[in-house]
Structure 1
Amino acid sequence: MTGPAAPTVSAAWAGPLLQSFAEAGYQRAEPAILQPAEPFLDLSGEDIRKSLYLTTDPGGEELCLRPDLTIPVARDYLASPRAGQPAGFSYLGPVFRYRGGHPSEFLQAGIESFGRQDRAAADAEMLALALKATSAVGIDVEIRTGDVALFIALIDALDLYPVWRRRLIKDFNRKITLEQDLERLTIASAATRNEYEGVLAALAGSDRKAALALVADLMSIAGATALGGRTVAEIADRFLEQSTLKGGALPRNALNLLKRFLGISGAPAEAIAALRSLAIDTGLDIAAAIDQLEARVGFMAEHGIDTSKVRFATAFGRGLDYYTGFEFELHSKGNGAEPLVAGGRYDGLLSQLGAAEPVPAVGFSIWVEALTLADHARATARGRLA
């Protein structure tokens, strides 16, 4: 294993915390350390390969040391008799990922909740349990939240070209400032030249079926069935995207509306009022997504969370494609570059892992190393003050 050795983590709070999770109904999960690599590569893209510790078994299957615990816990749940039914799991164990100058082996704790249909209540419970983890250590935290479902609802209500819908949602899920990227995409659509201008012109205004037929014909003439590892369908989608972007398909009024949406932030009550005002002003039907946010905030209050101290931002995203709704991070106050706890809703993940029917899912991970360091810093500061 390359990289610095993992530090010794002395966290006396970890055992009692997991016990409290068990008492709340979350069974201890202990998935295998060696996992199939395919789910991680499929869900996170080939870019994650350089961070994985990989091997191959005698049968040729590519395996890896688990880089996180969400997917392994989800796979074990799907393989169990409880698959599809409400079930909750807690965990604490090592994960392995190259992090460039940081330990490649580190501890991860957390909770995953599967199968609950009361999404707003389950979301609020996750945040409450995450706050319990930090309060057990005595750390004051900043609560940062968002909701990718709101952004998706807005994009759907705008009725943009499918290629713009895919592009904008993908950008939202990356650690990119989407507002800046909107400007870049708009400028690029009108100004960029492409070596395939003829193909792009032929595809202008086409739907996906027509684009697929044209590209299939062109590749058949060339005697090719794939190019650079891409299938005909993937190449057609790429050409269609470039054609649509070339035509300046994102209207200026949509750009301005998206900017207004992404500028909404503050306490949840303030954000909800701003979102309802936006919906009334524009006539866009995003009421269901706003209602879900409002219901979640109500359940937070029922858990004793002071929602006036929760920061909500429509532009907040965790940079992972599989989140579908509520997202949150807990940061140490005054020193919050990296989260201590992070999580959210990922309703599509279990279908991607092979579930026959969609399974609602929400959870969070505790970065034990970060939480332990924050605990140490707090104890040191207290000692100095004493």
Structure 2
Amino acid sequence: MSAAVPAPNLTQDPRLLEEALVAHFDAAGFRRVHPPILQPADVFLDLSGESIRRRMYFTSDAQGRELCLRPDLTIPVARAVLEEDMPLPATVSYLGPVFRFRGTAPGEFLQAGVESFGRPDLEAADAEMLALGLEVCAIYGLDTPEIRLGDVGLFSALLDALPLAPAQRRRLMKDFGQGRISTDFRRKTNGQESGPAEARHAGVLAALNGADPEAARALITDLLSIAGISTVGGRSVTEIAERFLEQAELDAGGVSDEAAEILSRYLAISGEPDEASARMRALAQEAGIDLSAALKQFDQRAGFFTALGVDLSAVRFSTAFGRPLDYYSGMVFELHDPAGRADGPLVAGGRYDKLLGRLGASETVPGIGLAAWLERLALLETPVQEGA
């Protein structure tokens, strides 16, 4: 797939390691691109989900259009692929600063990565991306990172197979990606299960339930406008109205006991990919649901992992593992330092087959990529503590 990984030398200047990383991406066939630092803010808010909103740096242009310093590089790179009308498949790399509020940590930091668009052999492309992530770690001297693996597509297929209201499905997908998914699916909006916030709005939500969606949306928008409210926490009036309507639909009924049991059992599955696959197939058969297409992809991907030399016994797969970006649609992964020298993943990525379409592409374009946190990788020079 790519050139041999250069032997790491942890006494090198970090810039030399960055150059070695970029050279490795280039040898693997990824062309470097340089997307603008200033980006339209609404693209990130629409595609990355609410979790990124409170960490973004905003500004505006002379026409009042809201802009931001890019909080990641996947979306800017995807926009560049579309704007430059690159022929597919397109394989590109990047290295540059991104900007996120991180408390006491610097708000500007370097990120490197690659994106691959348009490859039809999805499972092989997934496996090659994970293998490339392992090569990134090897350049920085870590040959055996901890591999965490998840599958958004499998969870989505499970939700499609269950009798769920559209709002329930949207909420579960959002919670899954944000790492808030729970095995307790009891209703939390009525009776003793309701919290203080839900109780304060119970009358409004009950009135909205069953109302014509367009009329209800117009009513909420008008009420907020009369009150002089244009945004709350960065959300527009329209977004606030949509959230009220979604909550009203959620309050109309909880997840059925049967669906809740299947979800709970599914989200408890973890382990090596082959073992997890067997358990997921057994659950699907017992529950009478069809996950065969998604599980076939899962097994084929595991086969490509093996072919590329990835030790499946070192892969920690979990059905409950997702990543906090709404555009992921398939495999997701993170590579961590087993010694704990870095707080967070060293390399992370996943599949996002709907991203280019949501950015304006005329058809669905398969996509897969990874990002490397260079400041965390640089910490691998720190000696491992005794007993770590």
Shorter-chain TM-score bucket reads: 0.7 to 0.9
31, 35, 52: which is aligned to 2:56? 52
Equivalent in the alignment of 1:321: 326
- The answer to whether the 8 A contact 1:163-1:240 is kept is no
153, 156, 159: which is aligned to 1:155? 159
Residue 46 to residue 294, structure 1, CA distance change in 2 (3 Å): closer
Moved over 3 A (4+): 44-50, 189-204, 216-235, 237-248
Q: What does 1:215-364 correspond to in 2, within 5 Å?
A: 215=216, 228-229=229-230, 235=241, 238=243, 240-335=245-340, 337-364=343-370
Residue 46 to residue 142, structure 1, CA distance change in 2 (3 Å): closer
Equivalent in the alignment of 2:375: 369
Which amino acid is the alignment partner of residue 375 of structure 2? Answer: E
- The answer to whether the 8 A contact 2:221-2:237 is kept is no
Measured in 1, the distance between the counterparts of 2:290 and 2:346 equals 36
| Structure 2 residue 19 is the aligned partner of structure 1 residue 15 | yes
Q: 1:270-328, CA deviations, whole angstroms, 9 ceiling, x for partnerless residues? A: 00000110111111011111111111111111111111211100000112211111000
Equivalent in the alignment of 2:86: 82
Residue 251 to residue 332, structure 1, CA distance change in 2 (3 Å): same
Moved more, 279-288 or 211-220: 211-220
Equivalent in the alignment of 1:123: 126
The alignment's TM-score, normalised by the length of structure 2, stands at 0.84
In structure 2, the residue corresponding to 1:116 is in which secondary structure? coil
In structure 1, the residue corresponding to 2:362 is in which secondary structure? coil
Equivalent in the alignment of 1:61: 65
Equivalent in the alignment of 2:31: 27
In structure 1, the residue corresponding to 2:321 is in which secondary structure? coil
Measured in 2, the distance between the counterparts of 1:311 and 1:319 equals 18
Residue 131 to residue 231, structure 1, CA distance change in 2 (3 Å): same
- The answer to whether the 8 A contact 1:328-1:343 is kept is yes
- The answer to whether the 8 A contact 1:66-1:96 is kept is yes
Task: Mark the runs of 5 or more structure 2 residues left unpaired by the alignment.
Answer: 1-11, 231-235
In structure 2, the residue corresponding to 1:187 is in which secondary structure? coil
In structure 2, the residue corresponding to 1:178 is in which secondary structure? coil
The alignment's TM-score, normalised by the length of structure 1, stands at 0.84
In structure 1, the residue corresponding to 2:183 is in which secondary structure? helix
Report percent identity of matched pairs: 49
Q: 1:195-247, CA deviations, whole angstroms, 9 ceiling, x for partnerless residues? A: 6666655666x4xxx63155268679989899955667973x54554444334
- The answer to whether the 8 A contact 2:47-2:325 is kept is no
106, 110, 114: which is aligned to 2:109? 106
Residue 329 to residue 47, structure 1, CA distance change in 2 (3 Å): closer
Number of residues of Structure 1 aligned to a counterpart in Structure 2: 364
Per the TM alignment, residue 37 of structure 1 is displaced from its structure 2 partner at its CA by 2.4
Q: 1:47-87, CA deviations, whole angstroms, 9 ceiling, x for partnerless residues? A: 6454333332223333332221111111110011325x211
Residue 9 to residue 162, structure 1, CA distance change in 2 (3 Å): farther
Which amino acid is the alignment partner of residue 339 of structure 1? Answer: P
Equivalent in the alignment of 2:145: 141
RMSD: 3.0
